[in-house]
Chains A and B, each alone.
Chain A
Amino acid sequence: MSSLRLALLSLRARRARLLGLFAFGAVFLLAGTAAAVLLRGPDGDVHIDDLFIIGGYPLASSALLLGWLLGRLPLIATLVLMAGVVADDRRDSLGRLVAARPASRLAVYGWRAALLALVAFALCALVMPVFDLLLLGEWAGPATLVLIAAYVLVYGALTLLLSVWTRGDAWIALLLALLAMSWAALDRAGSLPVSPGARQLFGFLLPPQQQLFALENAFAAIEPIPWPAFWYAAGYALVLLILAGLSLLRREV
């Protein structure tokens, strides 16, 4: 538990990022409220198509962008909060102060990563269900929380692993996320111009976006949670966490 105090201080050092994420979430909720007020039809549903009538293409595309970004909120929150989770300590002298002390570096960074991931999860779990309530008029159920958890696990573990090695952790994780999203979309459409072997290999190495999409789709269609997809994502995260732990033990400070 001695590492927890340091983890709490690390959260304090990320206060500005946390406030920024809250502001980001507030924008979504405001947009959701505005959409619900302006576009709710007599049937109680929110008709996004009506945005074309009100504001033309720019307003409709803005709403679509907001909606897309909201779907990516767990990814964004995780990357913003976890950026530099280990690497920042090499920039100042904290990494060396920790390494010189009779403390487990695994515990120090494990607690910190867990706390930051938990905060990212909590923030998304506050914003996303409220947004659903505003637009759908009902809570989508635990599927939202499972979706958030899967994103936080996969990209939190990826950022942690990268952070042990490089200061560009979150940017590289973002790049890999976009690559994985594009790869998964092209794969789903059968448009990948590569051999089946390469397709499988890249699909295996890149973040499991296919599985995350499966969770998203089930959530959007209010279908049962595809647990195999979740467990695959969790297993991928576990492998990354093990690699991050081994890297922490090996890496020079």
Chain B
Amino acid sequence: MDLPAGGVLGVVGPNGAGKTTLFSLLLGFLRPSAGTVEVDGLPPRRYARERGFAYLPERFDLPHGWPVRRALLALARLDGHGKAGAVAAADAALERFALDDVADRRLGELSRGMLQRVGLAQASLSRGRVVVLDEPTQGLDPLWRIRLRGWIAELRSDGRTVLLASHELDEVERLADRVLLLRDGAVRELVEAPRSEAGRVYRLEVRADESLLRAAFPDAAPIGGGGGGDGGGDDDGGAWRVTASDDADLSRRLAALIDGGGVVGAVVPAEQRLEERVRRSLEEPR
């Protein structure tokens, strides 16, 4: 199996499917019992030693007596930052993950969610082109889940390759370009996320004048029979197939539509939802 560089690869599967084992092989923690693993043409351990991975383990934990800032500084130094660079990187990570207030507290004093943010912060210190996040949303509140999406979007736009294992299918569907379905240690399916060239495709149910709709979504295409969507080109309501490059782009376009007087009934990913794909794939006989 070849995974192309860049973009976000979601890895999903039931407990024991092999998500963490796959990551462990990729990161060089484990050796494959058969076959080989290469990252950018190098054995994983050599790749780690020469370039490094950004990595959040499934159960992030460090000695509880370590103060947050000093832990980040030490790990930043291991990431290859110089003395001043490590301080700057640690400070930036503390700020990004809103850990300034607990910078001098010991890790053992932090809540589960805050500890997970420290885990994300230490992963953000790395300049590695491959980012491996094993269950990154664990313990995060809804606000931080949203912020995590922003960080992953930044990593993607920076051209880095993000591998993301999660049981949160909505989150994976939202973030991933491709999704690897695992079961019993084997790849069941590699699913392309429902995106067009322009971005992600949505089914939009809206009551709006067609010109207003097209101002917000120029490529809007009606779904179902009848000219101009279920409801035609009038404002009786109808279903349309629209695209947006990402969540932020979708929000901006919807805001324009609503500001112009459109009434949005629903907006959902247009393609079959990941949850259904996973269910179908995992319920198939082996």
Contacts and interface: CB of A to CB of B under 8 A. Distances in A.
Interface of A: 2-3, 5-6, 9-10, 12-13, 15, 88, 92-94, 96-104, 108, 252-253
B51 A96 contact: no
Which residue among A97, A103, A104 has the maximum number of chain B CB atoms within 10 Å of its CB? A97
Contacts of A10: 63
Interface stretch (B73-81, B185-193, B209-217): B73-81
Contacts of B50: 102
B78 A252 contact: no
B145 to A, nearest CB: 21
Nearest to B50: A102
Given A96-B55, A101-B53, A253-B28, 10 more contacts: A3-B78, A9-B74, A96-B27, A97-B57, A99-B29, A100-B128, A101-B52, A102-B52, A252-B30, A253-B29
Interface string B41-76: 000010011111111010111110110001101110
A11 to B, nearest CB: 11
A6 B79 contact: no
Given A5-B73, A93-B59, A101 B65 contact: no
Contacts of A97: 55, 57, 62, 75, 122
Contacts of A104: 49
B51 A102 contact: yes
Interface of B: 24, 27-31, 45, 48-55, 57, 59-63, 65-66, 70-71, 73-75, 77-80, 122, 126, 128, 132
A62 B153 CA distance: 68
B30 to A, nearest CB: 5
B27 A100 contact: yes
A92 B126 CA distance: 20
Contacts of B61: 92-93
Nearest to A1: B77
Contacts of B49: 102-104
Contact of A101 (B62, B63, B70, B79): B79
A165 to B, nearest CB: 16
Contacts of B66: 9, 12-13
Task: Name the 7 nearest CB pairs between A and B, nearest first.
Answer: A102-B52, A2-B77, A100-B55, A13-B63, A253-B29, A92-B61, A103-B78
A98 B24 CA distance: 13
Contacts of B65: 12-13, 15
B128 to A, nearest CB: 8
A9 B31 contact: no
Nearest to A2: B77
A99 B48 contact: yes
B74 A100 contact: no
A98 B49 CA distance: 10
A17 to B, nearest CB: 11
Contact of B63 (A2, A9, A108): A9
Nearest to B57: A93
A105 to B, nearest CB: 8
B78 A2 contact: yes
A15 to B, nearest CB: 7
B126 to A, nearest CB: 7
Nearest to B54: A100
A99 B62 contact: no
Contacts of A6: 74-75, 77-78
Nearest to B66: A9
A36 B53 CA distance: 60
A251 to B, nearest CB: 10
A137 to B, nearest CB: 41
Contacts of B60: 93
Nearest to A252: B30
Nearest to B61: A92
Given A12-B65, A92-B62, A93-B59, A102 B74 contact: no
A6 B27 CA distance: 21
Contact of B31 (A2, A12, A88, A252): A252
Nearest to A5: B74
A87 to B, nearest CB: 13
A93 B62 contact: yes
